[in-house]
Chain A
Amino acid sequence: MSRKKNGKPGYGKILDAWVPPENSGDPKGCIVTSYTFSPELFEEECLKRFLRIGADTQEESLRYLLEREEKLSQNGCAVALIDQHHCQGERNLRWDMIPVRVHGGIMHAKITLLHWQNHIRLIIASANITMEGYRHNREVFGVLDYNLLDSEDNASAEPLSSTLNFLLEILSYASGESPGVKRCNTMVADLKKIIKNFEPVKKQLIQVEAVFSRPKVSSDGEIKGVLGELKELLPAGPPKRADIVSPFFDQSEVASDTNPAFNIWKHMNQRGEAVVTYFVEAEELNDGEKLLVRAPGFIESAKPDGRTSTVKVNLKRILPDELDSARALHLKTIWLENDIYSAYMIGSSNFTSRGLGLSSMPNLEANLVYIFKNDIKTEKSMRASHVEGETIEKTYDFEARKDEEQDGPPEDIALLDAFEQAVYSSDENGKASIEIFLKKKPRAGWTLSNPAESMETLCNEEAWVSQSSPLRFKLAWGTRKPPSGFYVTWSGSPGRAWLPVIIDGQASLPYPNELNDLKLEDLISLLTSARPIAGLLAGLKRKKNGEDRTTVDPHKKVDTSAFLLQRTRRISWALTELRKILEKPVSTIEALDWRLRGPVGAMAIAKAIRREALSGEESAFLLAELALELGRVKPKSEKGYNIDVKKVRAEINALSGEIRALVSLDDLEAIPALKDYVQKAFSEELNGRQL
């Protein structure tokens, strides 16, 4: 992605960072973390870009649905790790939403990790994945790219590696046995393996490190915190100047080591001059004569004892957004510099004791630090991504904004610890069940209800006790639409908590009804056309609705699609195309499953043949042709595609066996030559499929 947008260096749109770079290949997986979260934005804007879904969610809802199913079911992992207070909402179950439960703190990090076949991208931001964060607020983000084909311009592996370790820490706060957590762990493990093979990058002008906040105590028992780590990253001595931007500050003005406004001085130059500048929002009062500074007043007076002559605090008013002055400030940055180097930190850490890891109950936070020499060119390019401020010349009062995280939205309630997870699975006949995992006995008076069915009660304490209080129990779900989650309430609960449902595997989820049982002719068209599947399906839908145009060409007026010879030839083309698809390298079992048993896969063709063949003989003949083609498949492998060719072959063989079972040789008694051909075809298929 480009740094320049609308000609203004240092500015960009965070959603653009979700667009795959050139030659990045197929999407393999993504993991995001966020404090507040909008499942809609994530699915319809973020995943849409990551997976290259071309259809529009609103105007082409069916096409969007179909493309989403195709691409999500083939993607190895899409996981959102969300703070427990905000982990709720309707979603498509093909991606996981997992609550992160930090006791006494919150999961506040905003990490996005995107993995395509040939590319890894790490984004660390101040923005939550919400409409406000991604579209409205003033935020900051950093992007690190790792091209797996050409590493020349790659970032250093260190921040990626430490972020992967941090993600594992975050996962330790989620339900350990959850299938979603397992998928996430697998992706992290895969990426770690890839990173191991990274070549060392050449020395760069700007060094990047990741800095995190979590419960951590240094060896001497002292809390180091983010500021301490940041200072250590700055070469050539302590900082003489610090520029701080934060929408939120601690409320307490007590001088303590855990209050960042006081703690910062510990890390500044101890001999000689030191200056801390706070970039603050300020509103005009009394017809512009006075300003209301959106920060606590004590930041101006918080200085180390006995050093009042050598240390200084400045306030600068952040200039409003040129185009939209109503945009709320949500970005958080700290810029430290001495005479030779600067360290510029961006990310999720507010200038609060919990955000900077100074509190005894710190948040989980993630930041990127850019370290560079203070040459004019580099500093200019880095300053372009720092907010501009002007010296305040008017008189002013202080009024801090309420800290969003410290107080928290009072009405959002976290799920009880007792409820670990709800896992959706289905059997071979498509009958589904949802298994509820409890860690311990929940609070008295608990009820589990289904928001999709007018709050139908699915289970409650009374029913649970009557079944001997099992820690795992199953709810029969049948063929109903899989739910996104359930509401949990209990005696005295101030509201409803959300228990998200996750799937045990992609294969468990049914495809949308629109994709079931496509006609043989439609399947042939899909396989033999160069157009993308969703585009074709839109055309097929028009045909089904009788909207197909009246053709002018008299030759085209005759529908020859049912003529035996034409039909057989078209099916033959389609089977050849199917073979080519099956020979392509495949990266996940789910992708292989889509090719074999998905709505346009080999089994769908077999079933369509059975359903629509003009006779038993035609059915047997065409199924034999299909099996023959499957026998000819020579699966290929490529670097980065994880599924072994033997595994592919084994799955195809299993499918061939199922297709063979669909053929009744008894139906062919009247035509011995055909019976002989079909038998030979299956025999050839059996011989041909040996590797």
Chain B
Amino acid sequence: MLTPVLTLADPAESTEGTIDPLGLYSIAESLASRLAPGVRERQSNPRFLTAMAVSAEVVSGMEEETRSLKDVETEPWQVFEWYLVEGIVRTVVDIEVTGLPGINKAREAIRNDLGLSRDRYLVTPTVFGFHGVYRALAEALNIIEKDGELKETGVELIGQWEKEQGLKGFYCGNEGSGSDMRKMLVKAVIDGIHAGETSRSKNWNGWEFFRKHLFHMDLREKNGAEAKFLRETLTKSNPNLNQIIDYIASREGQKLLEEGWQEASFYRVLRKTASDDLKDLIDAIASYEEFSRLLQDSFDECRVFLTRRKGKTKIKELAESKAVKRAAQSIPECFNTTEDLLKPFGRAEYFKYLFEPFREPVDPAGFARVLVAHHEKIQKNKPPSGKASWFIRFTDEDICIRGGYFVYEYDSVALQGSYVHPYRTRPLNSFLFNLGVIKG
């Protein structure tokens, strides 16, 4: 019998931390992907790339193995992920583990003397588990295929790791401690698939494997061949990424990032020494972010206005907002510049498709109307079947704000000149820290 329960705050896990009421995110994301292909804001530690390569090797060929299990709803890589997360939680007791997706779920399962399973792990492991978080990067770096099989770089990475860890035979070998370990893991994963959960007792020898050989927080301390290989793989994979990584690692780059983490300033300075291609990309980003800032500031100031009013409000009254006035004046020109700068990156048409109504000059009241209508359209078109507007509309001119979207204060002046969206310096800085390149 349960006693009653007081609720804990349960903030939504949202993609890259934004709910994106104006549809600004997708273009920013595609520009960021050109800066650093495969890198996502949620990533922090490249050791998970090695873990994915090891996982791919362990589960290789299991599709056939599990064909007969018609009721199985879990893929082999998922079971490997459960083992790894549970293994780290079980065996790393001397330091506080951070940056491990699913760690709280594993702690709870262990506390209840249970193994990890679909019901005792992340609700959406395909996105929020480490395979989900790092899959795009692992594919971009040729570590794994789309279907999860190892690719050339993955094979090399395992080779370096195997040698450094003293696990001879782990990759495709029939002899050596690595081979024995792989066989033990294969059996554990197959048993896990059958059982629908990790199916090893707390005394299992295999748990130590994850601490000794795949603990993500060890990479920096070791700073050996595996870290060197990952560093080289990252920098060689893309010229833009190479330049950004070099600049982050530089004293000047570190200083800029320490000063309040202003990516706008960071990229402005990097632009001076960047290649022509990267310069074009930074210019497109700067212009798109200026456009985004005008829209975002007006939207949030409107929310503050509507929150204070807490009732039916004429849209034309939103024209009193300073940010709305500023946007009404600057947006048309900014629209044209951004459209031109996005052309080389194939995003100009999509930009037009999303934001065309902002091209025409209008007065602040007209801008507020376009802004509200734009928000409604964006919400309506969100997958899978549309989302509610943050405003309740009574007539064409009357709206009020819904309770969940109240904002009491917003300082648009302080935010002027800053980017609305993140552009990968945080994950890359974290990568470099974990690879032992910078002090952190």
Binding site for B on A (CB under 8 A): 1-6, 8, 10-15, 19-22, 36, 38-40, 45, 48-49, 52, 54-61, 64-65, 68, 89-92, 127, 130-132, 134-145, 153, 155, 204-206, 208, 321, 323-324, 327, 331, 333, 344, 346, 368, 370, 381-382, 384-387, 410-412, 494-496, 528-532, 535, 539, 542, 547-549, 577, 580-581
Contact = CB atoms under 8 A, between A and B. Distances in A.
A427 to B, nearest CB: 24
Nearest to A125: B7
Interface string B287-327: 00000000000000000000000011000000000000000
B126 A13 contact: no
Interface stretch (B164-172, B340-348, B386-394): B386-394
B64 to A, nearest CB: 9
Contact of B146 (A1, A494, A542): A542
Nearest to A333: B4
By secondary structure, the B interface counts as: loop
A139 B127 contact: no
A494 B400 CA distance: 13
A411 B312 contact: yes
B9 A136 contact: yes
A132 B111 CA distance: 30
Given A58-B15, A65-B384, A530 B70 contact: yes
B3 A10 contact: yes
B7 A13 contact: yes
B95 interface: no
Contacts of A321: 9
A144 to B, nearest CB: 8
B3 A384 contact: yes
A92 B387 CA distance: 11
19 contacts: A4-B111, A10-B3, A10-B4, A15-B10, A45-B12, A54-B118, A59-B127, A64-B383, A92-B385, A136-B404, A137-B7, A138-B6, A138-B7, A204-B1, A205-B1, A385-B4, A529-B63, A549-B145, A549-B147
Contacts of A54: 73, 118, 124-126
A344 B123 CA distance: 32
Contacts of B104: 6
B66 interface: yes
A140 B4 contact: yes
A333 B394 CA distance: 36
Nearest to A59: B127
A60 B127 contact: yes
Contacts of A5: 8, 108
Given A54-B124, A56-B127, A134-B10, A61 B384 contact: yes
Contacts of A38: 388, 404
Q: Which of under 10, 10 to 19, 20 to 34, or 35 or more describes the interface residues of B?
A: 35 or more
Given A12-B6, A141-B5, A385-B3, 11 more contacts: A10-B5, A11-B5, A38-B404, A54-B126, A65-B385, A134-B7, A135-B11, A153-B1, A384-B3, A385-B6, A530-B70
Contact of B2 (A36, A49, A55, A145): A145
Given A39-B388, A40-B388, A48-B123, A344 B6 contact: no
Given A15-B10, A90-B388, A531 B75 contact: yes
B152 to A, nearest CB: 10
Nearest to A384: B3
B67 A11 contact: no
Interface in B74-131: 75, 104, 108, 111-112, 118-119, 123-128
B72 interface: yes
Given A61-B383, A92-B385, A530 B9 contact: no
Contacts of A496: 394
Contact of A20 (B7, B73, B119, B400): B119
By secondary structure, the A interface counts as: loop
Interface of B: 1-12, 14-15, 63, 66-70, 72-73, 75, 104, 108, 111-112, 118-119, 123-128, 145-147, 149, 311-312, 380, 383-388, 392, 394-395, 400, 403-404
Given A2-B112, A496-B394, A135 B4 contact: no
A648 B215 CA distance: 52
Given A59-B15, A92-B385, A140 B5 contact: yes
A89 B388 contact: yes
Nearest to B73: A532
Contacts of B66: 530
Contact of A135 (B12, B123, B126, B128): B12
Contact of A90 (B3, B112, B386): B386
Nearest to A12: B5
Given A14-B7, A145-B2, A577-B70, A2 B123 contact: no
Pick the most buried of B3, B111, B118, B392: most chain A CB atoms within 10 A of its CB: B3
Nearest to B9: A324
A411 B6 contact: no
Given A4-B111, A411-B311, A155 B4 contact: no
B10 A22 contact: no
Contacts of A206: 1, 3
Contact of A549 (B111, B146, B400): B146
A263 to B, nearest CB: 24
A13 B404 contact: no
B10 A370 contact: no
A141 B69 CA distance: 39
Contacts of A15: 10
A343 to B, nearest CB: 12
A52 B118 CA distance: 9
A130 B147 CA distance: 38
A542 B148 CA distance: 13
Contacts of B394: 411, 494-496
Contacts of A549: 145-147, 149
A550 B136 CA distance: 18
A134 B5 CA distance: 13
A13 B67 contact: no
Contacts of B14: 58
A155 B108 CA distance: 24
Nearest to A142: B4
Nearest to B62: A530
A385 B5 contact: yes
Contacts of B72: 530-531
Q: Which 3 pairs from chain A and chain B are nearest by CB?
A: A61-B383, A12-B5, A56-B124
B132 to A, nearest CB: 8
Contacts of A135: 9-12
A11 B6 contact: yes
Contacts of B67: 528-530
Contacts of B127: 56, 58-60
A580 B70 contact: yes
A19 B124 CA distance: 12
Contact of A13 (B8, B400, B403): B8
Contacts of A385: 3-6
A485 to B, nearest CB: 12
B146 A547 contact: yes
B4 A346 contact: yes
Contacts of B388: 38-40, 89-90
A501 B127 CA distance: 33
Contacts of B63: 529-531
B1 to A, nearest CB: 6
Nearest to A22: B119
A74 to B, nearest CB: 14
A139 B387 CA distance: 25
A418 to B, nearest CB: 21
Given A3-B3, A542-B146, A530 B126 contact: no
Contacts of B147: 539, 549
A145 B104 CA distance: 24
A321 B10 CA distance: 13
A1 to B, nearest CB: 8
A58 B4 CA distance: 33
B5 A143 contact: yes
A260 to B, nearest CB: 21
Contacts of A324: 9
